Structure 1
Amino acid sequence: MEFREMTIPGAWVVTPRLLGDDRGMFCETFKASEFEKATGRPFGLQQVNTSVSAAGVLRGIHYTEDPPGQAKYVTCVRGAFLDVVVDLRPGSPTYGTWDSVLLDDVDRRSVFLSEGLGHAILSLENRSTVNYLCSLEYSPEFDRDLDAFDPQLAIDWPTEGRDGRPLTYIRSAKDQAAKGL
């Protein structure tokens, strides 16, 4: 596994070593010892979520009030997503900035984001599937949302899917009602 810290401290892109043969492919998508060595912290798994999305589905920007905060380890198991991390930690030198990475079923990268960071995913093809390992069980009283199209953030969302066709963004009513930064 290779860990690369993103431009936002506390967020890492994890690239696994892919082992293929005539049977298919194998990779380790999470390994506690390597995770702790690279990030300097343990990951306390409390909940696992799976989300399946049509092309153009935009989920987020979601975050959990910090404290307690929720760390996430996100892996695409089918299809492709643009994964966006936003620094929402007051006082952070990178507050209000974002970074992104393509998560897909080819390179099998994952993203880890620490507590206090916002997260959004945009599905780039139909039936794209993502798994979230979460450090905190879902707690609606701490759940928060931020408008993914907030001009202050100026996130550069793709307008085409992985197949080159135009994307029509599909958001939940809750995400559409989210306020800006």
Structure 2
Amino acid sequence: MELQKTPLNDCFILKPNVFRDERGLFYETYNQKVFEKTTGLNVDFVQDNQSVSSKGVLRGLHFQRGEMAQAKLVRVVKGKVLDIVVDIRKDSATFGKSFSVVLDDVEHLQLFVPRGFAHGFITLSEQSIFSYKCDNYYDKASESGIIYNDATLALDWYLPKEEFIISAKDLELPGFEEAVS
């Protein structure tokens, strides 16, 4: 497994060793010992989630506050998504900065999203299966987010806005300034 740094502190991409032959391919999606050796982190993932989305579905930007904050290890099982993270840790040198990466079922890259980040993605292919591990349980009372089109962040979601499919709940999320105050 190879670790690739991103411009955001503590957020990185993991590139697994993929073994391919005439039968197809094989790779380990997660191995705690390899993860710890590669990243230097001892993360206790406690919840595994999966979503299925059609093209244009935008999920996020979500996070949990306080002691229920979550680190995530995300990957695409099928299809292609644009994954976006925003550092919302006020004491971080990269506070307010964002990073995006295309995750797909060809390269099998994984993104580690540390606690204190807002996270979201949009499906670029006809369908995607998105999987992620969390180091803390979902807690509705701690849930929050940032509106996808916040002017301060000025995120590029790659698709025309007319193609977006966004939940009513995500359309009511606050802007960046309100969300981090």
Q: Which residue in the other structure is 1:145 paired with? A: 145
Deviations 1:19-61 (A, max 9, x none): 1112110011222122212332212111111100010000000
Do the aligned residues in 1 keep the contact of 2:79 with 2:127 (CA within 8 Å)? yes
Q: How many residues are paired up?
A: 176
Q: Which residue in the other structure is 2:11 paired with? A: 11
Q: Please give the secondary structure, in 1, of the residue aligned with 2:141.
A: coil
Do the aligned residues in 2 keep the contact of 1:66 with 1:115 (CA within 8 Å)? no
Once residues 87 and 79 of structure 2 are traced to their aligned partners in structure 1, the CA distance between those partners, rounded to angstroms, is 26
Q: Please give the secondary structure, in 1, of the residue aligned with 2:63.
A: strand
Once residues 118 and 164 of structure 2 are traced to their aligned partners in structure 1, the CA distance between those partners, rounded to angstroms, is 19
Once residues 29 and 6 of structure 1 are traced to their aligned partners in structure 2, the CA distance between those partners, rounded to angstroms, is 20
Deviation at 1:135, TM superposition (A): 0.7
Which stretches in structure 2 are left out of the alignment for 5+ residues?
177-181
Which stretches in structure 1 are left out of the alignment for 5+ residues?
161-165
Do the aligned residues in 1 keep the contact of 2:9 with 2:92 (CA within 8 Å)? no
Task: Give TM-score scaled by structure 1 length.
Answer: 0.92
* Corresponding position: 1:158 with 2:153: no
Once residues 33 and 82 of structure 1 are traced to their aligned partners in structure 2, the CA distance between those partners, rounded to angstroms, is 28
Do the aligned residues in 1 keep the contact of 2:9 with 2:93 (CA within 8 Å)? no
Amino acid at match of 2:35: F
Once residues 66 and 90 of structure 1 are traced to their aligned partners in structure 2, the CA distance between those partners, rounded to angstroms, is 13
Once residues 84 and 3 of structure 1 are traced to their aligned partners in structure 2, the CA distance between those partners, rounded to angstroms, is 18
Task: Give TM-score scaled by structure 2 length.
Answer: 0.92
Once residues 178 and 106 of structure 1 are traced to their aligned partners in structure 2, the CA distance between those partners, rounded to angstroms, is 33
Q: Which residue in the other structure is 1:111 paired with? A: 111
Q: Which residue in the other structure is 2:59 paired with? A: 59
Once residues 36 and 118 of structure 2 are traced to their aligned partners in structure 1, the CA distance between those partners, rounded to angstroms, is 22
Amino acid at match of 1:95: F
Deviation at 1:167, TM superposition (A): 6.5
Question: Aligned pair in 2 of structure 1 residues 16, 92: CA closer, same or farther (>3 Å)?
Answer: same
Deviations 1:116-168 (A, max 9, x none): 011011100122001110111111111111111101001111026xxxxx960
Once residues 118 and 110 of structure 1 are traced to their aligned partners in structure 2, the CA distance between those partners, rounded to angstroms, is 16
Once residues 72 and 103 of structure 1 are traced to their aligned partners in structure 2, the CA distance between those partners, rounded to angstroms, is 14
Q: Which has the higher helix share?
A: 2
Once residues 97 and 78 of structure 1 are traced to their aligned partners in structure 2, the CA distance between those partners, rounded to angstroms, is 28
Do the aligned residues in 2 keep the contact of 1:55 with 1:167 (CA within 8 Å)? no
Amino acid at match of 1:148: Y
Amino acid at match of 1:59: R
Q: Which residue in the other structure is 1:163 paired with? A: none
Once residues 77 and 122 of structure 1 are traced to their aligned partners in structure 2, the CA distance between those partners, rounded to angstroms, is 14
Q: Which residue in the other structure is 1:91 paired with? A: 91
Deviations 1:69-120 (A, max 9, x none): 1010001000000011100111211111100111000000010111101101
